[in-house]
């Protein structure tokens, strides 16, 4: 599973698909979840639990970007990485669900990412 994700990310980076570029960064706890340009992962914010049912991951990033632009970025990039967007706004891949929550603290957009087993 991890190898397949890594191959997918490398193929996208090499092909330049959908705006993914080699200089883009990824969340530290999820090797194939890109950080939108303008967002930075909050140090120490990643929490990972491995359970028999699957992993639980929580991470936070923030930066001076627009909420609509951030939503559009992830709506465009995540399907290229195998995530399917559901009617409830969450993304699903294999047996995992990814939720993006956006909030604002002053001029900064805060992105909270949660991955849980289905």
Higher pLDDT, 24 or 86: 86
Per-residue pLDDT at 52: 87
Average pLDDT over residues 43-67: 93
Residue 9 pLDDT grade (very low, low, confident, very high; cuts 50, 70, 90): very low
Residue 53 pLDDT grade (very low, low, confident, very high; cuts 50, 70, 90): confident
Has residue 81 got a pLDDT over 60?
yes
Task: List the domain boundaries for the chain.
Answer: 2-117
Whole-angstrom Cα distance, residue 98 to residue 84? 10
Question: Alpha-carbon dihedral of residues 31, 103, 66, 70, nearest 10 degrees?
Answer: 30
């Amino acid at each position: 599973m991890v190898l397949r994700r890594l191959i997918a990310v490398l193929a996208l980076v090499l092909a330049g698909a959908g705006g993914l570029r080699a200089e883009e960064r990824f969340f530290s706890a999820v090797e194939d979840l890109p950080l939108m340009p303008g967002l930075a992962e909050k140090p120490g914010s990643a929490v990972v639990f491995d359970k028999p049912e699957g992993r639980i991951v929580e991470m936070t990033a923030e930066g001076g970007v627009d909420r609509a632009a951030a939503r559009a970025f992830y709506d465009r990039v995540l399907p290229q990485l195998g995530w399917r967007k559901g009617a409830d706004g969450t993304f699903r891949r294999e047996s995992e669900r990814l939720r993006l929550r956006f909030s604002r603290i002053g001029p900064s957009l805060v992105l909270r990412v949660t991955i849980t087993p289905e």
